[in-house]
Structure 1
Amino acid sequence: MLREWSQNVRKRREKQVRLIKQGMVPPVHHSVRSWAGEWETPREKIPEPAPWNRFVPEGEKVKRRERRLMFQVTAAAILLVFTFILFHSDSPALEPAEQFATEVMTRDFNFAGLSDWYKQYVGGNPAILPAFLKNDEPGNQQTLPQWRVPVKGKIILPFDEKRKGLVIRTAARAEVVAAAEGWVTFAGHKEGLGNTVIIRHAGGRETWYGWLQNLHVKERDWVKSGERIGEVGETKGQSLIYVAMKKDNQFVNPAGVIPLE
């Protein structure tokens, strides 16, 4: 078979050579198959462009802006009507929502507290606002906290290097308040201190409140100076509370900063 195929090929070549010598061009057999089509994607298979790459007529853009504006106006109107009803209703069920809305609208945003949270959970010192600057950077007008007594009582065990804090005897189930405004970084159980609340304040200080009976705050809450954070529990048959202060990762005597009796 191979020999026969070779003979056929030789005969076709000899025929083409004779035609060329006679001045006749041999016929060229064009393939009806288009090889370009092998590399081209059929139109029906061309994927649709992504939404952000599609051509949008100018008129459609205007309509989209109008719809977005209409949605924003409608949402603002609904919020306004809801707020009006909220503040003009005598229903006791709406009182918590009214108090929350009042607090949100009247409370000043504390950038110093946000800076402390940013340093602890993100790291670094963001320089977006002056309140985020370091203490030694020019333009920092961060206000230092005004300290107050967290609970009324008598110090029965003073601060020492072993205790790292002091112990106060007070009335049973006495209310414990935040010694200054700050960010609650811990609210839960600690070994040896029971229910404990840790608050981080402007300037990098932390206050610790241990042996609490009940906790009225949770982690990442923002508390104001004098805001209730818990109640004194019973420890060893007495109403005691442990108070400590930390600065630059070192425990210091809280009596040197907080006006304790």
Structure 2
Amino acid sequence: MRSRSDDIRKRIEKRKKQRERTSTRQMETKLPWTEDEERYGFDRMTSYESGPVDEENHPLFRKEVFIFKLLASACVVLVIAIMFRNPTPALDPAREFVTKSMNEEFQFAAVSDWYESTFGKTLALLPTTDSKNEEAGPADTKPQYALPASGKILEDFGENGQRITIETGQGAAVEAMNEGLVRFIGKQDGFGQTVVIQHADKSESWYGNLSEVDVTLYQYIEKGTKVGKATDNDDGTKGSFYFAIKEGEDFVDPIQVIQFD
């Protein structure tokens, strides 16, 4: 009777050892080493730092969404480029909306000025010049503006409430009164062929009645850069152009800003 019970115990112990060996072999096959979390009784935490990453389940990246955004951006740029190259009048409202969105709602020149005053360097998207590295004068001094062209005033601001008319020599160059971003080139009511420059203080200088334009849209130009050429008078002896300064929604008298001869 005793030998039978001993035999049963041996069988039980043998089976127990077999189960332990099987369990150990499975654990070694599944996990060659033990993570810190499991060593202290916690579940293993998922990590994206090493090993192959499943892009579909990655919390910070989805390939399909990225490709869709890339293609959508390329399509938008292509459509806008075609729209600005096509002179069809039906597209004028769309072009006007894009121009307004890129200039009036986002003040490029103002952002550039803020960046420079905050970080001391020119915004990377804009070209740098040696004049940018010069030390600024006292904060209370008034900015010095360049005279757009030498000449005399034929029509003052009080006659129309928007601009003045300046008489120049034949074929005279018209220059920018201050640095800024060219935000508009085209026809304007009461100004004719016009170039509008947006400055860092959000003001705008308008140069109208031009026979030629020497700048491009969205070009960042320095003070004194040639904007265009004044239109010659009928007799061919003199020329003239329109000049205006706009602050916010209102035009101001340029004579109050720039000293004319």
TM-score normalised by structure 1 residue count: 0.47
User: Which has the higher Rg, Structure 1 or Structure 2?
Assistant: 1
TM-score normalised by structure 2 residue count: 0.47
